[in-house]
Amino acid sequence: MNIALVAHDKKKQDIIQFATAYKHIFSNHTLFATGTTGTKIADQTGLDISCFLSGPLGGDQQIGAKIAENQMDMVIFFRDPLTAQPHEPDISALLRLCDVHHIPLATNIAGAEILIKALERGDLHWREIVKENKKE
């Protein structure tokens, strides 16, 4: 599965710790991330991650494009709800695309824990069926 990892500045350490804890699961999937987040996770975990631009520079939009093209299966986005983000419209658009295209989305560690356990159990194989059906 293709998984996007995104985190606001104050949540980067949380997503690094999350990726470290679940490295054994993430290593079986194709990972994408916004620039700074992906670089930090890769440096600290050794996971292979394809990095887009930094979120404020268009990385959120690049992930959104992959969602719209049916090339992203899950988004884990550790948001900082207490800090205003200058690129909030891009963030809102990304979340909206997840809803429109039925992409599993977690915006905090509790939701991410549920998704990663579901991924490990195989509960998200329906995404493969969806992708195959959209190719036809």
DSSP characters over 44-61: HH---EEE---GGGTHHH
* pLDDT in the model for residue 136: 59
**Average pLDDT in the 91-119 region?**
96
CA 31/CA 60 separation, integer angstroms: 15
Query: Is 60 in the active site?
Result: yes
Token representation of residue 92: 């809102």
**Whether 8 contacts 78, CB under 8 Å:** yes
What is the percent of the chain with per-residue pLDDT over 70, rounded to a whole number? Answer: 99
37 lies in which domain range? Answer: 2-135
Q: Which of 60, 73, 90, 123 is an active site residue?
A: 60
Domain count, the chain: 1
Amino acid in the structure at residue 12: K
Give the whole-angstrom CA distance, residue 3 versus residue 1. Answer: 6
The string of pLDDT tens digits covering residues 69-85 is 999 999 999 999 999 88
CATH number for position 59: 3.40.50.1380
pTM value > 0.85: yes
